[in-house]
């Protein structure tokens, strides 16, 4: 039995504005990585698994044939859909290795950790020691003096 590319349904927040949302079915891990490189890292959400990636075609006798999509076939599909330049940006080299599962591409781990504040380099530290009151007053006075300018900003209440 040949190894199959797993597919998921994903939601793409185009331009990260929340107004233009696209729902995509049967997206493989390599295609997810390409879409992510186009629209940005935080713009995609993985929804649910949809099974293996299969391709179908009509035979010469008029019968439908079906097989698990091969790596070469998926590479051709992605190049024709997104151009060779975009494909090479994500999968450089002469003989790129495409991940078969979202776990192989480390996409499920990043989806779970997103928004939790874990695994992104932040760690909890003790609070900083407060400055003496005289220094705080001097800093507050300086900030107040800097804000008393006649500069007209867009949305300013002075205008």
Question: Which residue ranges make up each domain of the chain?
Answer: 6-95
- Residue 26 · residue 50 · CB < 8 Å: yes
pTM over 0.85: no
Read off the pLDDT band of 151 (50, 70, 90): low
**Is residue 16's pLDDT more than 70?**
no
Closest CA to 50 of 84, 23, 75: 23
Q: What is the DSSP letter of 89?
A: H
- Residue 28 · residue 104 · CB < 8 Å: no
**Is residue 149's pLDDT more than 60?**
no
Quote the pLDDT of residue 117: 47
Residues 6+ apart with CB under 8 A from 49: 6, 7, 8
With a pLDDT cut of 70, the percent of the chain lying above it is: 69
Tens digits of residue pLDDT in 62-93: 999 999 999 999 999 999 999 999 999 999 99
Closest CA to 55 of 2, 16, 106, 104: 2
């Amino acid at each position: 039995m040949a190894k199959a590319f797993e597919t998921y349904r994903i939601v793409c927040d185009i331009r990260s504005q929340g107004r233009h949302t696209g729902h995509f079915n049967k997206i493989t891990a390599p295609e997810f990585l390409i879409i992510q490189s186009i629209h940005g890292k935080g713009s995609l959400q993985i929804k649910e698994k949809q099974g293996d990636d299969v391709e179908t075609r009509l035979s010469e006798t008029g019968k439908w044939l079906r097989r698990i999509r091969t790596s070469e076939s998926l590479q051709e599909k992605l190049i024709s859909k997104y151009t060779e330049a975009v494909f090479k940006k994500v999968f450089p080299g002469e003989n790129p290795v495409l991940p078969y599962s979202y776990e192989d591409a480390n996409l499920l781990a990043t989806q779970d950790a997103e928004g939790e504040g874990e695994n992104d380099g932040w760690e909890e530290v003790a609070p900083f020691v407060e400055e003496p009151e005289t220094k705080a007053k001097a800093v507050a006075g300086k900030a107040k003096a800097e804000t008393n300018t006649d500069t007209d900003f867009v949305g300013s209440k002075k205008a």
